[in-house]
Amino acid sequence: MKKLLLLFLTLFATTAYCNEQVYVYCGALDGQSWYKPRVNNYMPAASSTFDLYIAFGTWQTLEIGEQQMPYFLINKAQYDQFYWICSDGYVPHPASDFWDTSWYLFAIKDAQGRIRFMPGHFSTRLKPPVELLDKM
């Protein structure tokens, strides 16, 4: 119960400066499986949402050549809370919605302001052609 209360307080405190939210799921490091996290012995009802665990932060994109890797930037306190809800071999991952089939990573800023990617499996995508961007 204390962990759950601390999690809610952490999430509540972060909403003041973050304008985006994602659902949190636990994914295998190799990307072969995932599951909705449990709260003690309670598994949220099967539905099109993750029901309980939500992270607040901002979507960012790392570009390397023609590849893009979206990631979700949160604070370390949030990540630490989500890390402990996943079983061994699984780590927290962000999802924009239940039907999103891409894998994304969480990232945090360290004390020096550098972005650190948290462990996990991730998907990349090709950058759209410049002509397409000009039409948007």
Instruction: Decide: 124 and 69 in contact? Cβ < 8 Å.
Output: yes
User: Which pLDDT belongs to residue 129?
Assistant: 63
Band (6; pLDDT cuts 50, 70, 90):
very low
User: Which pLDDT belongs to residue 54?
Assistant: 87
Read off the pLDDT of each residue in 70-98 and give the average, rounded to a whole number. 91
Read off the pLDDT of each residue in 16-39 and give the average, rounded to a whole number. 82
pLDDT > 80? residue 12: no
Structure tokens at 16: 């003041």
> Long-range contacts of range 29-38, CB-CB < 8 Å, 24 or more positions apart?
29/89, 29/90, 29/91, 29/119, 29/120, 29/121, 30/121, 31/103, 31/121, 34/90, 34/93, 35/90, 37/82, 37/85, 37/86, 37/92, 38/85
Structure tokens at 113: 């302001």
What is the rounded average pLDDT for all residues in the chain? Answer: 78
Band (9; pLDDT cuts 50, 70, 90):
very low
Type of residue at 97:
D
| Beta pairing, strands 20-28 & 34-35 | antiparallel
Structure tokens at 79: 């990540």
Least confident interval from 36-40, 82-86, 96-100, 123-127:
36-40
Band (126; pLDDT cuts 50, 70, 90):
confident
pTM of the complete model beyond 0.85: no
Q: Which position has the token pair 């052609």?
A: 129
SS3 56: strand
**H or E segment and range at residue 81:** helix 76-83
